[in-house]
A and B are shown apart, each in its own frame.
Chain A
Amino acid sequence: MTLPLTIENITAHYGSTKVLEDLSLSLAEGELVSLLGASGCGKTTTLRLVAGFLQPTSGAIRLGSKDLTRLPAHQRDIGLVFQNYALFPHLTVRENVAFGLKQRKVASAERTKRADAMLDRVGLAHLADRLPAALSGGQKQRVALARALVIEPPLLMFDEPLSNLDAKLRVDMRVEIRQLQRANGTTALYVTHDQEEAFSISDRVAIMHQGRIMQLDTPETLYQRPANAFVANFVGFENIVPLSVTARNGAEVTARSDSGAELTLSQDQLGAIPDRFLLATRPDGLQVSTDPAAVGLPAELGLRTYLGRAYQYQAQAGGLSLVANGPLSQPLETGTAAKLVPNPEQCAILQPE
């Protein structure tokens, strides 16, 4: 069983502080959507509102046709996986997994059977009689996952489930989570501050900031076509250059920076370019060139750092601080005058704020 989740115009407060503002979000059946953002952005608040541990000031939450907004948390039928596992310390692994079934009045023999089957699926059948204290972090999170899945909830929610695990295990576990979620076809809401984690397992990602969703899109779109400066910066477009169009020639657009440098950009590659816009690039997409014929932003190079695949420079270009990469073959000294050449494939066009 799986159901779509709809969050409509939710506003939430902690005391007099507004933590969510008019937030709306829809998850299709079987879809995994991540809420991604720094701490305090409202992602965990959103999850806790859906779980029923917090009450919204206004707005509605629906799971399928069921209105959850005022339903007590214990009647919501949602599988939750917590950051710190939240296993019951006084119950064995099997009893932990069977807990939700017991609440649903499943008979004892059936309970054990289903708990054991679920433990088998997460590869922990041999630990069924242990107490949680005797498990490693990864094993604990598997038990937590089994405990949430065994009740066959129409919605799964994850609250930073991997942040207490080491890097290698994190990668393994997120694949495992995704496989189980796919296999069951359960709608899932996933909260994380880890961009790679969110992008790797989600159908769509909502990037959040100060209680709002800044952009909700597929990972590919977010990574290549951020909709605004905040998202662009979040996904690594460190350089944002304001430009104005001075001439249009078919798909070719000539634009001038505030300091007077001119660039030629193609709308075929970058999509429609408005008269005033921001050009966003990652350091990788802004190449340092000492060729006098190169078309780019004139800049004075600052500190050079070594990345292994390239050198990276802090550069000053007409009052803007930019970060650009240069070839390994030619390390350049601080103070060198150079051009910063944007690579259109790694650029994004943003509306000015």
Chain B
Amino acid sequence: MPTRIHPLLIAFTVVVYLFLLGPLIIIFGASLSDTTYLTFPPQGLSLRWFENIWEISAFRRTIVTSLQMAFLGTLIALIIGIPAAYALNRHRVSLPAWLSTLFVLPILVPEMVIGFSLLRSVTVQMGVPVWYALLIGHTLLVIPYVIRVVSASLASFDFSVEEAAISLGSHPAKTFFTIVLPNIRSGVIAAFILSFITSINDVSVSLFLTGPGISTLPIQLLAHMEQFFDPTIASVSVVLMMLTIVVMIIVERTLGLAVVAK
């Protein structure tokens, strides 16, 4: 006998989905409006606010900066975070327990505080140029995510597999790339996506570190909103959503989403 689903359950599910997706639908509609102010439902249909993104040079520049920060920051975080996670798991028995906590501490500290302290130390004290300060900020921001996610993968990795490879004559450094890395691949990809999205979305840390001529997209969005209340904001949001969807489709097609969910 097929299970009957209670109508109230269906209604409840619909409400939850509406609550989750409603704002996105509104943004999508608003971005198509022909008006010079944000409105929903859209009045008239136009793509001119999408064109407007490219006409405003600040958006063009900040999209590039945001992508640079997300790509490079995540890359550096992976280069630092994967070996750190490896060491923390490989030598878990002989390392003090607080050490792994130390690496996730930045998640617990409010991002505003991290942003401000980076401004004080890196920008003011050391005089690091804005672009580099931003990169340092974004790298620091995502390292804890890399370590957490890669550690989760390594926790289920049997290190005697690595020892087996070494005993068969494989150099330890080479073994890391030929044996360990392929087996934590899903964790590394998940860490990359999570870090990339965290970096692209970041406001709190970037807010303190952006400077003359160099800003990230979310900061530019805020600045734009203070002066104009036109649907450009909505259009940028839609473009960002599309980007995320494209990334997810690529992941799904090449690896399967289960890899990320794991």
Residues of A bordering B, CB below 8 Å: 15, 51, 53, 72-80, 82-84, 86-90, 99-100, 103-104, 144, 147, 151
Contact = CB atoms under 8 A, between A and B. Distances in A.
A86 B163 contact: yes
B166 interface: yes
Of all A-B residue pairs in the complex, the 4 with the closest CB atoms, nearest first, are A103-B169, A100-B168, A86-B164, A86-B160
A78 B161 CA distance: 15
A88 B179 contact: yes
B99 to A, nearest CB: 16
Contact of A147 (B158, B166, B168, B175): B168
Interface in B155-200: 158, 160-161, 163-172, 175, 179, 182-183
B3 interface: no
Contacts of A82: 160, 163-164
A151 B169 CA distance: 10
Contacts of A99: 165, 168, 170
Given A53-B163, A88-B161, 6 more contacts: A72-B172, A74-B166, A77-B169, A80-B163, A100-B168, A103-B168
A77 B167 CA distance: 7
B233 to A, nearest CB: 45
B161 A100 contact: no
19 contacts: A51-B167, A53-B166, A73-B163, A73-B166, A74-B169, A74-B172, A76-B167, A78-B167, A79-B167, A80-B164, A82-B164, A86-B158, A86-B164, A87-B161, A88-B165, A88-B183, A90-B183, A100-B168, A147-B164
Nearest to B163: A53
B164 A74 contact: no
Contact of A151 (B158, B168, B182): B168
Contacts of B171: 74
Interface of B: 94, 158, 160-161, 163-172, 175, 179, 182-183
Contacts of A151: 168-169
Contacts of A147: 164, 168
Nearest to B173: A74
A87 to B, nearest CB: 7
Contacts of B164: 80, 82, 86-88, 144, 147
B41 to A, nearest CB: 52
A76 B166 CA distance: 9
- Chain B residues touching A, majority SS: helix
A144 to B, nearest CB: 8
- Chain A residues touching B, majority SS: loop
Contacts of B158: 84, 86
Contacts of B168: 99-100, 103, 147, 151
A49 to B, nearest CB: 13
A173 B260 CA distance: 39
Contacts of B170: 74, 99, 103
Contact of A51 (B163, B172, B175, B183): B163
A94 to B, nearest CB: 15
B94 A15 contact: yes
B177 to A, nearest CB: 12
A97 to B, nearest CB: 10
A144 B170 CA distance: 16
A11 to B, nearest CB: 19
Given A82-B160, A86-B161, A73 B179 contact: no
Contacts of A15: 94
Interface centre among B94, B165, B169, B179 (most CB of A within 10 A): B169
A321 to B, nearest CB: 39
Contacts of A84: 158, 160
B250 to A, nearest CB: 22
B168 to A, nearest CB: 4
A288 B168 CA distance: 56
Contacts of B183: 88-90
A80 B179 contact: no
Nearest to A76: B167
A314 to B, nearest CB: 41
A53 B167 CA distance: 9
Nearest to B160: A86
Contacts of B94: 15
B92 to A, nearest CB: 14
A201 to B, nearest CB: 21
A86 B166 CA distance: 12
Nearest to A96: B164
A99 B161 CA distance: 12
Contact of B161 (A75, A79, A89, A104): A89
A136 B161 CA distance: 17
B160 A100 contact: no
B106 to A, nearest CB: 30
A142 to B, nearest CB: 15
A84 B171 CA distance: 22
A74 B179 contact: no
A90 B165 CA distance: 13
Interface centre among B163, B168, B172, B175 (most CB of A within 10 A): B168
A100 B169 contact: yes
Given A15-B94, A89-B183, A90-B183, A80 B161 contact: no
A51 B164 CA distance: 10
